[in-house]
């Protein structure tokens, strides 16, 4: 194995299942599913207030209008995750100009279904990856998983692995529970969507920022914070009908209360200062969460436009969402230091300190 090196992201591919649904169509469907709750104007207003135009889901909208058991939903999760994951991984490997046999480690993040063996083992077979590749499946991180998984993939590069394949796939639409009239389930129908992202990471070869294979960004460190007594803020309750969403309206206030000091501490660990951060890549858990980040960190107007765009065009895809935001940010050819940030079940905050090429780089 190579000596410790600064990890570099060499490729990033994002994608969704094929079925698209507008927010207006989602609202009509929910009125059929939950006629009693839909009579309350404040509940239906969630669909407009979410500021989402469209989302992508794993099955046609009609499929969600009939009951399905946990086993049926999970079977769909396995099929769609493998199909989407294989496509994204092939694209990322091609972008990185490496063969499947070059991969020596695989990180797989997902929290919206279950499988043993974990699905990374199946993808190793399908993709023809090196059978000796180290495997690191991560489950239960939810929305924070995109940042946490990236940090763990970077740790593997620091440990000496040369070509780390990182995949995050979430099929949040499958967590709809038909007979659950809780506010969390109802709000989830206005926010949740399906998507995935694949990345290839490796050590800095000394050509960072060069046109061909210098890398899209460097990863300089990470910072995790688990908030005490916060398990009830977000998560799943496992029921006979599947994974039942649980989340609190306190998330924006948590961002407001802790994020300024938390970000400062994360940067200090790397001897960085807040004034040095020119780009923020933030998981758009919702419009209120985005606004809380902006206000708390005193960000300039437009700093989180990429987060808002991803939310509007894709909804909340849990762990994969922040990687969609990163993909959108890269289109603007950013340069200098940045921070990738997400919060999720635990309740936890995850930050990754990143550096973009001085001349910019295209995804």
321-330 and 305-314 are packed helices; what angle lies between their axes, rounded to 10 degrees? 120
Is-contact 58 17, C-beta < 8 A?
Answer: yes
Catalytic, out of 143, 268, 275, 313: 143
Which two three-digit tokens encode residue 179?
């007979």
DSSP state of 317: -
Residues 78-103: b if buried by 16+ CB within 10 A, e if exposed: eebbbbbbbebbebbbebbebebebb
Q: Cα 202 to the chain's mean position, in Å?
A: 20
Q: How many CB atoms lie within 10 A of CB 212?
A: 6
Q: Cα 294 to the chain's mean position, in Å?
A: 19
Q: Is the dihedral of CA 119, 122, 127, 129 positive or negative?
A: positive
Q: How many CB atoms lie within 10 A of CB 346?
A: 21
> Is 143 part of the annotated catalytic residue set?
yes
Which two three-digit tokens encode residue 241?
């009908």
Whole-number Å distance between alpha carbons of 4 and 102 = 19
Whole-number Å distance between alpha carbons of 81 and 139 = 14
Is-contact 188 172, C-beta < 8 A?
Answer: yes
Is-contact 228 346, C-beta < 8 A?
Answer: no
| CA-wise closest residue to 232 among 347, 141, 81, 321 | 347
Whole-number Å distance between alpha carbons of 360 and 210 = 9
Backbone phi and psi for residue 337, each to the nearest 5 degrees, phi listed first:
-80, 150
Residues near 335 by Cβ (< 8 Å), separated by ≥ 6? 278, 356, 357, 358, 359, 360
Active site residues: 143
């Amino acid at each position: 194995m190579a000596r410790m090196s600064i990890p570099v992201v060499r490729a990033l591919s994002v994608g969704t299942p094929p079925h698209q649904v507008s927010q207006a169509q989602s609202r009509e469907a929910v009125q059929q599913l939950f006629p009693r709750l839909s009579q309350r104007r404040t509940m239906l207003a969630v669909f407009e207030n979410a500021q989402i135009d469209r989302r992508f889901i794993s099955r046609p909208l009609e499929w969600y209008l009939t009951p399905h058991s946990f086993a049926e939903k999970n079977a769909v999760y396995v099929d769609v995750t493998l199909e989407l994951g294989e496509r994204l991984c092939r694209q990322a490997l091609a972008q990185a100009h490496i063969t499947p046999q070059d991969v020596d480690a695989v990180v797989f993040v997902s929290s919206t279904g279950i499988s043993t063996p974990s699905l990374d083992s199946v993808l190793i077979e399908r993709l023809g990856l090196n059978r000796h590749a180290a495997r690191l499946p991560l489950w239960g991180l939810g929305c924070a998983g995109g940042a946490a998984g990236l940090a763990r993939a970077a740790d593997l590069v620091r440990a000496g692995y040369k070509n780390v394949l990182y995949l995050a796939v979430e099929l949040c639409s499958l967590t709809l529970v038909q007979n659950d009239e809780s506010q969390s389930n109802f709000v989830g129908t206005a926010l949740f969507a399906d998507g995935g992202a694949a990345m290839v990471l490796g050590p800095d070869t000394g050509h960072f920022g060069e046109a061909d294979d210098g890398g899209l960004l460097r990863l300089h460190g990470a910072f995790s914070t688990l908030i005490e007594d916060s398990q009830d803020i977000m998560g799943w309750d496992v029921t006979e009908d599947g994974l039942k969403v649980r989340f609190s309206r306190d998330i924006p206030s948590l961002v407001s209360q802790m994020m300024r000091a938390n970000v400062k501490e994360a940067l200090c660990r790397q001897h960085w200062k807040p004034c040095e951060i020119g780009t923020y890549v933030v998981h758009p858990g919702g419009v209120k969460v985005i606004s809380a980040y902006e206000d708390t960190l005193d960000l300039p107007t437009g700093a989180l436009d990429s987060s808002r765009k991803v939310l509007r065009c894709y909804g909340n895809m849990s762990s994969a969402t922040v990687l969609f935001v990163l993909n959108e940010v890269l289109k603007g050819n950013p340069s200098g230091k940045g921070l990738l940030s997400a919060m999720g079940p635990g309740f936890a905050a995850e930050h990754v300190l990143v550096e973009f090429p001085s001349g910019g780089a295209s995804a």
